[in-house]
Amino acid sequence: MPLKVVGLNRFPVKSMLGEEHDRLEFDGTGVVGDRLWALRFPDGKLASGKNHARFRRVPGLLEHLATYDDDGLPVVTAPDGAALRPGDPRIPERFGEGVELVRAGEESHKDVSDVSVIGTASLRALGDLLGDADPVDVRRLRKNIVVETDEPWIEESWVGREIVLGGGAGGALRLRVIKRVKRCVMVTQAQTGLAVDNRVLKTLTAARGMCIGIHTEIVTPAPLALGDTVVAR
């Protein structure tokens, strides 16, 4: 039986909460609108859940929900309910002098790849490694596509191959799998509905080389919907 898509996620603003969807559009850069926006400091660094040459750790980002309005502009809903849009003077008041909500230019806001993918059996397997009765919550891992799988880690066997997803009136989405996803401290951090859990990264480090899920790049863009089939070739 072919595998099926059971989760689709888009994150309008880097390192913030995003949206679950029944259907997503893809273009040559990945999910349309994914990580298209970010908070940028005056020195050019982007706000993130971790420190890096390109990023600056900003606590509490995962308590902010980012969506798009009817005009295609991002709206960041803060924990106190404030709705922040690009150019809002409350953004630097909350995040630091000179901080702006900016759209990506020539350089993508994404860390590594166009689209990330995870299998449900891998979520269950990580839950088992943690000693939990339930799978690890996929929200911790911030993947674009969740595929229903029976075999843990099977998606890692797709590295170097192509996967074909869907194939309805809009054509099939084709992705090339480039490597496993190496996780960082963000998987441990609290977010709305999830508490801090330092076990996650420690367990992945000890058992899986810090990796879970796969990075992919676009070969052929097409729309994708829940229930669409997934075939590795």
**Whole-number pLDDT of residue 65:** 98
**Whole-number pLDDT of residue 111:** 82
Residues of the chain with pLDDT under 70: none
**Whole-number pLDDT of residue 201:** 96
Q: Exposed, middle or buried by CB within 10 Å (0-12, 13-18, 19+), for 220?
A: middle
CB 183 within 8 A of CB 204: yes
CB 16 within 8 A of CB 130: no
pTM of the model as a whole: 0.95
pLDDT digits (tens, 9 = 90+) for 40-57: 999 999 999 888 889 999
Checking phi first, is residue 207 left (phi over 0); if not, alpha (psi -120 to 50) or beta?
alpha
**Whole-number pLDDT of residue 49:** 87
C-alpha pair distances (Å), 179 with each of 23, 93, 117, 139, 211: 25, 39, 11, 21, 10
Go through the domains of the chain in sequence order and give each one's CATH number.
3-10+24-31+111-232 (2.40.33.20), 37-103 (no CATH)
Distance (Å, whole) CA 12 – CA 6: 20
**Whole-number pLDDT of residue 17:** 97
